[in-house]
Structure 1
Amino acid sequence: MKLAVVGGGSTYTPELIDGFARLRDELPLTEIALVDPDRSRLELVAGLSRRMLARAGHGAKVVATTSVQEGVEGAQAVLFQLRVGGQAARNVDETLPTQCGCVGQETTGAGGLAKALRTVPVVLGLAEKVRRHAPEAWIVDFTNPVGIVTRALLDAGHRAIGLCNVAIGFQRRFAGHLGVEPSRVSLGHVGLNHLTWERSVAVDGVDVLPQLLAEHGRAIADDIGLPLELVTRLGVVPSYYLRYFYAHDLVVEEQRAKPSRAAEVAAMEAELLKLYADPAVDTKPALLEKRGGAFYSEAAVALIASLLGDRGDTQVVNVRNAGTLPFLPDEAVIEVPAVVGSAGAAPLPVPAVEPLYAGLIANVSAYESLALEAAVQGGADRVRNALLAHPLIGQEAVAGELTRLLLEANRAHLPWVVSA
């Protein structure tokens, strides 16, 4: 079984390789193709990947290539994990919006829109190559903003599913609090990518969320960066990304007072690449845990194994709404539990969503539609409309200034800006 990783030169990749090695019985890979335009990074990551697999006694061949055609040809699954513009562009996404009093974050708000503008056209171009050279392959998208990118892929007719590690992260942490195996824990996870709430936490089918909050509420609140009083009053667990909405002004103040996360990650990546270059290193470095993407490999293995093995199990993924949330269009992409098999992912029924959450979901989903339109068709007016629709922006003067700043900062990645 061949798997291709587009963006294989990412410092995330050893996390994936570690999972492939540990979970070989679940996903018996014979070839892993790492595809990346950055040859120097690619060789370092591929070298460590080979050493890790050898140490684990895994026989899969690792191929490193800058050719998308070579990488995806014959693959049964293709994982997208790319970052257009690298950490430099991310740094702009995280710092420029704060100049206008808005949250600076790479997937949420104005920064998320900038990333979508750069990313969607590139991903669609790559997906066309997958369609030509591996027409039966599933595309698993881990590239942010996952909801918008997945919608772009589905609208273009690709066999694609979006994946995020938020849900599996909650599952693992909740299992730890409760002292049970993660496989016994299922989540009432609902919303959009990076805009979700856990409305139930079931152990062997029995909802224990009230008990979980009563006994571990403080740790959970600290983990998501929100007040315990809010979490207790809501009776649900918002994802960490809801902090950008529920504590917007506080977050902006914090962001203005310290270096961006992009700057921290860039420094971390430099250290990681030094470690990857050491021929004596043949395990996933401990520093990688601070890079982000916890449980990324487990989520990816489980999803790919179910798509290729028709397991029919339940996983939280990004899929078409298709009536699941009646207040959203059918074509919207949502993040909910779904039954995954060889035909794809079918979302499970979701209990009626309370107005407190449904209103915000509908607002951000409308923004995502406008953001995708701007990413595919270009145009300063489309960008401005998307910013105006976003609940974290929503003011005409701010949307106008952000449009000007974002387009200027991303001119190198957006050919249409010249005529915008």
Structure 2
Amino acid sequence: MEPNHNVVKDIQIAYIGGGSRGWAWGLMSDLAQEGQLSGTVKLYDLNYDAANTNAVIGNRLSERSDAAGKWKYEAVPSLKEALTGSDFVIISILPGSFQEMHSDVHLPEEYGIYQSVGDTVGPGGAIRALRTIPIYVELAKSIRTYAPDSWIINYTNPMTLCTRTLYEVFPEIKAIGCCHEVFGTQKLLASMLDEMANIPNVNRRDIKVNVLGINHFTWLDQASYQGMDLFPMYREFAHRHSKDGFEGSEEGHWMNNHFASAERVKFDLFRKFGLIAAAGDRHLAEFMPHSWYLKNPETVHEWKFSLTKVDWRKQNQRDLIAKSARLAQGEEEFAIRPTGEEGIDMVKALLGLGDIVTNVNMPNRGQMGNTPLGAVVETNAIFGRDSVKPIISGELPPEINSLVQRHIWNQETILQASLNKDKDKAFRAFVSDPLVNISPEQARELFERMLDNTKSFLPEWK
């Protein structure tokens, strides 16, 4: 971001999923640290009380002397009210409840299918998509009606299909999908520079990368620091840590942190394919054949990452609800700290406060070669005033591209199945996923059971 000391006031942000105790608080923290912006954030959530509690928390934060950015937070009862007059729309929702997520993640385990996340691909990702797409169809229609000129920033998973649905329904929409997984890989490269070249404290933003792929299955074919090609060093780094992994100062952290890993999957994929896999191990593993990294819990343990249990998410939610009450009542002070996300930097760039280059999910208009036009891909893009221009990023080598294309076409099939309420088409995508390593008969049984567990979100399906 280039320095710019202008101040933009009266920005209108609609936050869809405004009762969130994660992303919403992160947005508040980042806005509080940004003195060049101010305005109103309208919080809309199916749980109005949760959104209203967040409004109280946000307004308390904005009143503090250490909050550089001054914002008014307002819970609103309707999507129309949230969207009308908005300059930016941020979407971060949980499609369904943890009950549906429990089925997505854990029912396949009865059939020997293990998923580390279950929100993007695999059987869990497919079923989650089927209940998410109808929600995004309605969001796209509402945006077209009430906020056609606003910029849409999506954080919800499955990222690819959420973004793809917005463009399918409203082709002129100005929407981007944002994900921080590539940032984690840049941080890993910074740690590598410290260990291998004795260059400490490198800011991950100073590591320049070329991004190719789809969300959670991204790859780097270029990486440099101050003109230094990092691939030769990474080759040595991956070889050095391929057996035991790399965790820096947090050795063993992956065993008690559901979101951590020792990067062994990432190193293994580099040694197999020669490019840097640029997502967390938990996500990368789900795109590969089940026998590679997710054969069973013992295999997962050997690769030093975790199966994120939904029971943990439920307990975490209870803890966050309790924290929410404390924050709203002033019993606990909101901690202002950087999230590491780039959403506010994107907003500033779109308002003309300096250009940035970062990775985003957008329909392929030629920025990624040997890939269907219109399919949502993740590459770098240049952000400027009211403009996001994807960068021509080249193409993946055939051996990686074949893996990526399988998922692209599966996701396209799921989209069409959802739009047409075609259960047979949905099953074809489900059974074609590389994690579904069971007989077609077992796959059909599992599919029907999982679909039944999410049927309340598919009211028009037969």
**Normalising by the residue count of structure 1, what TM-score does the alignment of the two structures yield?**
0.88
AA of the residue aligned to 2:375: A
Which consecutive unaligned segments of at least 5 residues does structure 2 have? 1-10, 194-200, 249-260
Q: Secondary structure at the match of 2:361?
A: strand
State the match for 1:319 in structure 2: 362
1:106 aligns with 2:122: no
1:174, distance to aligned residue in structure 2 (A):
3.0
1:273 aligns with 2:321: yes
Greater alpha carbon shift after TM alignment, 84-93 vs 385-394:
385-394
Q: 1:263 aligns with which of 293, 298, 311?
A: 311
Q: Which whole-Å CA distance do the structure 1 matches of 2:138 and 2:269 have between them?
A: 43
Q: Which whole-Å CA distance do the structure 2 matches of 1:347 and 1:127 have between them?
A: 22
Alpha carbons 1:161, 1:317 under 8 Å: kept: yes
Q: Secondary structure at the match of 1:415?
A: coil
Relative to structure 1, is the Cα distance of residues 205 and 398 closer, same or farther in structure 2, using a 3 angstrom cutoff?
A: farther
State the match for 1:408 in structure 2: 452
Q: Which whole-Å CA distance do the structure 2 matches of 1:349 and 1:95 have between them?
A: 40
- The superposition leaves residues 320-359 of structure 1 with CA deviations (integer Å, 9 ceiling, x where unpaired) of 1122333221111101111223454332222441222111
Alpha carbons 1:95, 1:260 under 8 Å: kept: no
Q: Which whole-Å CA distance do the structure 1 matches of 2:60 and 2:235 have between them?
A: 43
State the match for 2:58 in structure 1: 49
- The superposition leaves residues 383-409 of structure 1 with CA deviations (integer Å, 9 ceiling, x where unpaired) of 111113323227533442232112211
Alpha carbons 1:103, 1:109 under 8 Å: kept: no
1:185, distance to aligned residue in structure 2 (A):
1.4
Q: Secondary structure at the match of 1:4?
A: strand
Q: 2:45 aligns with which of 36, 45, 58?
A: 36
State the match for 1:335 in structure 2: 378
Alpha carbons 2:289, 2:434 under 8 Å: kept: no
1:248 aligns with 2:263: no
1:229, distance to aligned residue in structure 2 (A):
5.1
Counterpart mapping for 1:11-26 below 5 A: 11-12=21-22, 13-25=24-36
Which consecutive unaligned segments of at least 5 residues does structure 1 have? none
Relative to structure 1, is the Cα distance of residues 325 and 84 closer, same or farther in structure 2, using a 3 angstrom cutoff?
A: same
Alpha carbons 1:97, 1:103 under 8 Å: kept: yes
State the match for 1:63 in structure 2: 74
State the match for 1:8 in structure 2: 18
Q: Secondary structure at the match of 1:20?
A: helix
Q: Which whole-Å CA distance do the structure 1 matches of 2:167 and 2:307 have between them?
A: 36
Q: Secondary structure at the match of 2:63?
A: helix
1:132, distance to aligned residue in structure 2 (A):
1.9
- The superposition leaves residues 302-335 of structure 1 with CA deviations (integer Å, 9 ceiling, x where unpaired) of 2222233274431100011122333221111101
**Normalising by the residue count of structure 2, what TM-score does the alignment of the two structures yield?**
0.81
Q: 1:282 aligns with which of 295, 317, 333?
A: 333
State the match for 1:175 in structure 2: 190
AA of the residue aligned to 2:142: K
Counterpart mapping for 1:172-251 below 5 A: 172-178=187-193, 179-215=201-237, 217=241, 218-219=245-246, 222-226=261-265, 228=267, 230-238=269-277, 239=279, 240=281, 241-246=283-288, 248-249=290-291, 250-251=293-294
Q: Which whole-Å CA distance do the structure 2 matches of 1:284 and 1:87 have between them?
A: 27
1:371, distance to aligned residue in structure 2 (A):
0.9
Identity of aligned residues (%): 24
Q: Secondary structure at the match of 1:416?
A: coil
AA of the residue aligned to 1:301: I
Question: Number of residues paired by the alignment?
Answer: 408
AA of the residue aligned to 2:17: G
Q: Which has the higher helix share?
A: 1
- The superposition leaves residues 38-61 of structure 1 with CA deviations (integer Å, 9 ceiling, x where unpaired) of 123223322222223333333210
Counterpart mapping for 1:130-149 below 5 A: 130-149=143-162
- The superposition leaves residues 99-150 of structure 1 with CA deviations (integer Å, 9 ceiling, x where unpaired) of 2332331222111111111111112212322222222111111111010111
Relative to structure 1, is the Cα distance of residues 302 and 177 closer, same or farther in structure 2, using a 3 angstrom cutoff?
A: farther
Q: 1:387 aligns with which of 422, 426, 430?
A: 430
Q: Which whole-Å CA distance do the structure 2 matches of 1:16 and 1:22 have between them?
A: 10
Relative to structure 1, is the Cα distance of residues 402 and 314 closer, same or farther in structure 2, using a 3 angstrom cutoff?
A: same
Alpha carbons 1:8, 1:36 under 8 Å: kept: yes
CA RMSD of aligned residues (A): 2.7
